[in-house]
Chains A and B, each alone.
Chain A
Amino acid sequence: MTTVSQWRLRAGAASSSAKAAAGPAGTRRQQRLALLALAPALTMFCAFWLLPFARLVLMGAEIDRGSGISAYLAILTHRQYLISLAATLGVSLVVSITAVGIAGLAGFFLARHCFPGKAALVAILTFPLAFPGVVVGFLVIMLGGRQGILAQLSQWLFDERWIFAYSLTGLFVGYLYFSIPRVITTVMAACETLDRSLEEAARSLGADTWRVTRDVIVPGIAPALLSTGAICFATSMGAFGTAFTLGTRMSILPLNIYGEFTNYANFAMAAALSVVLGLITWLALSIARKLAGSSLGAPA
């Protein structure tokens, strides 16, 4: 997906700059030149995206080794795949909403207030962006695993071990962990661009803080909230490292794909699941892009 959007961007930029540069006479020559300049990008696109993906789509239509029917059909008819799909969707959705809620507030506060140590706080808050999924998974285990901080604390207080790391809850915490920095940075940037006079106008008309927030600030940063939420969703849908670290037995799409592929050599099912995962994330991003009316990057 990264390649597609980048390719579109490049093509758009190239053709528009060509048009701008040349008069009517030179336009065709310029266009031919632009096409020539596009060739490397086009080659890359075909070689590394179009061909492998076409193969993947076709492979997914082949017979699934487990059920004996087309793998796409098997996903729709078999309980285990539907549950896994629902769990992945559910966790990603809850993570996105929670992250947007918590980090939206935090980001707004940080954008609006100046206090000593703010730069350091923002740096710390956005630090998890640099962590790979495996490290995030490891951190969740440190917190909620069998020997984790929470387990030790609850052992000491209540004489029982509280463990959440190896479940959907652990996954939720892990995903939230790397979603929050994204939302905070996006919301802070969006708040900078808010027109303060809108808030002043609303206040002059008698609006209290709550109404200003509801009528001016939230609609103002809604595009940013939507787009960052969609990116969180897409990232959570496909996050493999964290899930893999927390436990391979969890029924989550990325782990399913890995399992079908490596454990059962069920290439058709792995391909079908990949296509479904890709389609869902692509759909989420394009819906958000449409609603927000601004361009988005694909998940990292």
Chain B
Amino acid sequence: MTSSVSITLERCGRTFANGHTALHPLDLSIAAGETLVLLGPSGCGKTTTLRIISGLESPDAGGRVRFGERDVTQRPIEKRDVGMVFQNYALFPNMSVADNIAYGLKIQRLPATEIRQRVDEVMAMVDLQGFGERRIDALSGGQKQRVALARAIAVRPKVLLFDEPLAALDAKLRDRLRIEIGQLLRELNITAVYVTHDQAEAMALGDRIAVMQAGRIAQLGTPQEIYHRPSSAFVADFIGAVNRLEVIGSRPQGRLVVHGGELHGPHLSGLPSIYCRPEDIQIVETNVAAIQGCVIQSVFLGQTQRLMVDTGSSTPLQVDAPSREHWRVGEVIGLTIPPEVLFHPEQCNSQRDVQEVAHG
């Protein structure tokens, strides 16, 4: 494999001819061999960022794209040595599986024997042995995306780019292919940028995740940092479920009054609200509970069930409970939330050791 290369974006923004700013100028560096996931809702600028890295789009004046030490801003995609995997597979319908995979190698004018050898090699990597002569329309969605993946890695690119590659697949297949892509990326040790709106995919694949919102990076960090120390309510809400508890009063020794009871949170005193994840809330006997509430709904999720608990606040509290136990609607239950799982995005901001904040 070609040794992997780092990617640096410097003040890369993108404003379209109609005046719409898809991306505010941002700085981003991706280490060699790292997998960076660009995560966000549609229209957040993640695909634009990917297309600027690929060379399909140019950044606005002043923006620079570097692969390693080399400035590639002016290079079109065909001269950037990138492999790209698209949501709709983008396989050439008029070519067989093997011809699709060999396409980039033929352009490089490699000898026929080497092309055949490399095609076989990557087909084995994506578990497609024996499919070489198949027509593209005779493949399932998962197989198509494997072919697309094989085609992208066959040319041994310096950078692999994924544009929502699993979005068109059904859930079961998505999980399997996600694991395979993860293994492949580790095996190849290649620099990869992966665009998705699926937080589970982002956390499973990313060495780091850049959560994007309205053309800016809202937070950049490891999956653990993003999940446990989100820097904004948007990030907290986008990654997983989150409860926002309004603080309606405070007592001595760091006791915070919320709807339904009191919580101990000395590190969060003075803030108007506090946050916690549904799985961090424990259900206890009402006589030892910090807060109490009334079950208004239970959603069975398989490995767990999510209770909606009315504590008197405007939105019910989401609480994850063991899936085999049973709660009646209307039942009053006791809850306790340990102080260490309570957080507030603004505090997470000040606590974070390494600050990597986007420009703009």
B155/A206 in contact, CB under 8 A: yes
A205/B88 in contact, CB under 8 A: no
- How many interface residues does A have (CB within 8 Å)? 16
Q: Which B residue sits closest to A222, measured CB to CB? A: B94
CA distance A111 to B81 in the complex (A): 29
Interface flags, A273-287, vs B, CB<8A=1, else 0: 000000000000000
Interface flag for B54 (CB, 8 Å):
yes
A205/B103 in contact, CB under 8 A: yes
A198/B90 in contact, CB under 8 A: yes
CA distance A200 to B54 in the complex (A): 10
CA distance A202 to B106 in the complex (A): 12
Residues of A within 8 A of B87 (CB): 197
CA distance A211 to B104 in the complex (A): 11
Would you list which residues of chain A between 181 and 228 have a CB under 8 Å from chain B? 195, 197-198, 200-208, 211, 215-216, 219
- Cβ distance B176 to chain A, nearest Cβ, rounded Å: 23
CA distance A145 to B88 in the complex (A): 55
B78/A203 in contact, CB under 8 A: yes
- Cβ distance B53 to chain A, nearest Cβ, rounded Å: 11
CA distance A250 to B79 in the complex (A): 56
B77/A197 in contact, CB under 8 A: no
A206/B108 in contact, CB under 8 A: yes
CA distance A89 to B90 in the complex (A): 40
Interface flags, B30-60, vs A, CB<8A=1, else 0: 0000000000000000000000001010000
If the complex has contacts A204-B54, A204-B77, A205-B151, are A215 and B92 also in contact, measured as CB distance less than 8 A?
A: yes
If the complex has contacts A203-B77, A204-B77, are A195 and B88 also in contact, measured as CB distance less than 8 A?
A: yes
Interface flag for B76 (CB, 8 Å):
yes
B107/A211 in contact, CB under 8 A: yes
Q: Which B residue sits closest to A200, measured CB to CB? A: B56
Interface flags, B85-97, vs A, CB<8A=1, else 0: 0111011111000
A202 is contacted by which of B76, B82, B83, B103 (Cβ under 8 Å)?
A: B103
CA distance A285 to B202 in the complex (A): 52
A205/B90 in contact, CB under 8 A: no
CA distance A100 to B112 in the complex (A): 35
B78/A207 in contact, CB under 8 A: yes
B84/A200 in contact, CB under 8 A: yes
- Cβ distance B61 to chain A, nearest Cβ, rounded Å: 21
Residues of A within 8 A of B91 (CB): 198, 201
A207 is contacted by which of B88, B90, B107, B148 (Cβ under 8 Å)?
A: B107
CA distance A215 to B91 in the complex (A): 12
Residues of B within 8 A of A206 (CB): 78-79, 104, 107-108, 155
A200/B90 in contact, CB under 8 A: yes
Q: Which B residue sits closest to A209, measured CB to CB? A: B78
Interface flag for B152 (CB, 8 Å):
yes
Residues of A within 8 A of B84 (CB): 200-201, 204
Residues of B within 8 A of A215 (CB): 92, 103
A219/B94 in contact, CB under 8 A: yes
Of B79, B84, B87, B148, chain A has the most CB atoms within 10 Å of the CB of: B84
A200/B88 in contact, CB under 8 A: no
- Cβ distance A26 to chain B, nearest Cβ, rounded Å: 35
Residues of B within 8 A of A203 (CB): 56, 76-78
B88/A208 in contact, CB under 8 A: no
Residues of A within 8 A of B93 (CB): 219
A202/B92 in contact, CB under 8 A: yes
Would you list which residues of chain B between 97 and 133 have a CB under 8 Å from chain A? 103-104, 107-108
CA distance A197 to B77 in the complex (A): 13
Residues of B within 8 A of A202 (CB): 92, 103
Residues of B within 8 A of A207 (CB): 78, 103, 107
CA distance A215 to B93 in the complex (A): 10
* Extra A-B contacts (8), CB below 8 Å, given A198-B90, A207-B107: A201-B90, A203-B56, A205-B103, A205-B152, A206-B104, A206-B107, A208-B78, A216-B92
Residues of A bordering B, CB below 8 Å: 195, 197-198, 200-208, 211, 215-216, 219
| Minimum-distance CB pairs A-B, first 8 | A205-B104, A197-B90, A201-B90, A204-B84, A219-B94, A206-B107, A197-B86, A203-B78
